């Protein structure tokens, strides 16, 4: 699984002109499922996101998690994170999980996160064309991969 995590002051995802999910302070999580991923990988990644200490404490140090600051999560499926352009200029997506497996594990990632996280968890729609708007706070962007 490969995740791009961005600390935001606000974010939303719009599908067909309608907002599907929105958060204020929190994390946007762009999530791609690898062809070899399994449920253990998904849980590891979700736990890592929820515990990631990238919000500032009273001393200005990144020492607080999204839960510590009362933030939300906006989780967006994005298979293109596995686009490989080492050869040529057209991305190869051979490392991405097939759509059926990717959707199942993405849904598991979201369900597991919702079951463990106390704040709001919003999402896009798997395989939909989405417009994602965000205000990156910092900016702070972290890549998580297993």
Q: Which residues are catalytic?
A: 78-80
- Sequence-ordered list of residues with C-beta below 8 angstroms from that of 122, at least 6 positions apart, any chain: 13, 20, 21, 22, 23, 72, 73, 74, 75
How many other CB atoms are found less than 10 A from the CB of residue 75? Answer: 24
User: Across the chain, how many H-helices and E-strands are there?
Assistant: 2, 8
In the structure encoding, which two tokens stand for residue 84, read together?
């490989």
């Amino acid at each position: 699984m490969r995740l791009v995590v961005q600390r935001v002051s606000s974010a939303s995802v719009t599908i067909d002109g309608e907002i599907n999910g929105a958060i204020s302070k929190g994390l946007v999580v762009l999530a791609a499922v690898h062809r070899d991923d399994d449920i253990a990988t998904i849980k590891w990644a979700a736990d890592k996101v929820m515990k990631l200490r990238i919000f500032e404490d009273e001393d200005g140090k990144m020492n607080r998690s999204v839960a510590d600051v009362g933030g939300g999560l906006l989780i967006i499926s994005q298979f293109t994170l596995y686009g490989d352009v080492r050869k040529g200029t057209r991305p190869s997506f051979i490392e991405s999980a097939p759509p059926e497996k990717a959707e199942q594990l993405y849904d598991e990632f979201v369900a597991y996160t919702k079951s463990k996280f106390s704040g709001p968890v919003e999402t896009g729609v798997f395989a939909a064309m989405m417009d994602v708007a965000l205000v990156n706070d910092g900016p702070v962007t972290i890549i998580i991969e297993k």
